[in-house]
Structure 1
Amino acid sequence: MDPSRRSGTLIIMPAWNESAVIASTIREIRETTPEHDILVVDDGSQDGTPAIAREAGAKVLVLPFNLGVGGAMRTGFKYALRYGYSSAIQVDSDGQHDPRDINKVLAGLQDSDISIGARFAGKGNYVARGPRKWAMLVLSKVISAVAKTELTDVTSGFKAVNVRGLNQYMEHFPTEYLGDTIDSLVVAVKSGCKVTQVPVEMRERQAGTPSHSPFKSTIYLARSGLVLCFALARKRTHRWDDFGLQGENPVEGGGSK
């Protein structure tokens, strides 16, 4: 990565077998927000995703086997802290997140530690139905009460964090299903991180098949309820301001750019 291009923000793209779409996603991001660096964390792909991502112009880290989104994002967060980025934003490799909204979500960090690109917040026409809709409504109501602010899309993967948020996620960012959204968010709030949301419009996957069958939606409902219960039962982790850090980076190579 060319240090002269760096804005201080790292775009982290977890990827698993996204060879059909990742090149076009990276190109669109580079055209829309050329000031930010892009890191693709390949999660054990077997379809040539890493080579395609490098050719498209992204920095690529390759995990030896599939860890899931949580494991890939922890790798990206560690990279961001090690190389002194002041913020990071997760962007899906499948094209669902509109690159035109990246800077809007990042702008939410002006007054918060975690900024969520949210559906159901007055923008876009994304529709959830059945058990999945019920789960999202319950999760949003409960976590909004914990965070003391209205959050309409707590399972969104389109989210940005500042240095305090990065350090919090390095301390607690589960790798299990839904842990990277619900569990990590609840613990971050309980540990003193401020959360906000920014309305965005999600797009359809540019390749692959989404899993929205009634059976999978029912499983989603059950698992999300369990994850929420475990998250609410967890004790808070260390608040970074408890140690007088005030947003500074205690990890090697820290500090803002």
Structure 2
Amino acid sequence: MKVIAVIPAHNESKTITEVVKRTRKFVDEIVVIDDGSKDNTGELAKKEGAKVLVNKQNKGVGYSKRKGIKRAIFLGADIIVTLDADLQHSPEDIPRFVEKVKEGYDFVLGSRNLEKYPWIKKFGNFCLNNL
């Protein structure tokens, strides 16, 4: 099965190289959507072997994900994995998601494990979510 990662990115030059390098081990292709970045996010992703789509201006994560998913389908993806470009998602979890799809699941969704979060971050998230 062909697995393609879709990674929307906006001004992520500090993390995109690591994200692409770590993701490459678990997928057949990587599509990075440079969402109007003012830095060299797209160039760095391309240097690491990702296919890069460019939004000339920032269109938002939803638009960029849809654009990347359409490209992944065009490229013949059997499984599409989306990741954030800021390392909030661990590329090392990709095999677990792919395995579930191979077991017959149509859709697999992951979330961050908040049990390992420091209490101050939990408190901050709580406050911001309840504004």
Normalised by the shorter chain, which TM-score bucket? 0.7 to 0.9
1:40-99 CA distance string (max 9 Å, x none): 011110101111111111110001211111011000111122222111001111122222
Distance, in Å, in 1 between the alignment partners of 2:113 and 2:43 is 36
Q: Unaligned stretches of 5+ in structure 2?
A: none
Identical aligned residues as a percent:
33
Q: Deviation of residue 131 (structure 1)?
A: 7.2
Q: Deviation of residue 108 (structure 1)?
A: 2.1
> Partner of 1:86 in structure 2?
78
Distance, in Å, in 2 between the alignment partners of 1:132 and 1:22 is 25
> Partner of 1:126 in structure 2?
117
Instruction: Kindly provide the amino acid, as one letter, of the partner of residue 117 in structure 1.
Output: G
Distance, in Å, in 2 between the alignment partners of 1:129 and 1:45 is 30
Query: Conserved in 2, the CA contact under 8 Å of 1:21 and 1:95?
Result: yes
Which residue among 97, 109, 114 is the counterpart of 2:107? 114
Structure with bigger gyration radius: 1
1:184-241 CA distance string (max 9 Å, x none): xxxxxxxxxxxxxxxxxxxxxxxxxxxxxx5xx1xx435xxxxxxxxxxxxxxxxxxx
Which residue among 4, 8, 11 is the counterpart of 2:2? 8
Q: Deviation of residue 118 (structure 1)?
A: 2.7
Distance, in Å, in 2 between the alignment partners of 1:9 and 1:102 is 10
Distance, in Å, in 1 between the alignment partners of 2:45 and 2:20 is 7
> Partner of 2:56 in structure 1?
64
Distance, in Å, in 2 between the alignment partners of 1:126 and 1:36 is 32
Query: Conserved in 2, the CA contact under 8 Å of 1:119 and 1:126?
Result: no
The alignment's TM-score, normalised by the length of structure 2, stands at 0.84
Q: Deviation of residue 100 (structure 1)?
A: 1.4
> Partner of 1:221 in structure 2?
130
Considering only aligned residues, what root-mean-square deviation do their CA atoms show, in Å? 2.1
Distance, in Å, in 2 between the alignment partners of 1:17 and 1:95 is 13
Q: Which has the higher contact order (CA 8 A, sep 6+)?
A: 2
Inter-CA distance 36–108: structure 2 relative to 1 (3 Å threshold): same
> Partner of 2:12 in structure 1?
18
Instruction: Kindly provide the amino acid, as one letter, of the partner of residue 85 in structure 1.
Output: A
The alignment's TM-score, normalised by the length of structure 1, stands at 0.45
Q: Unaligned stretches of 5+ in structure 1?
A: 1-6, 134-213, 223-257
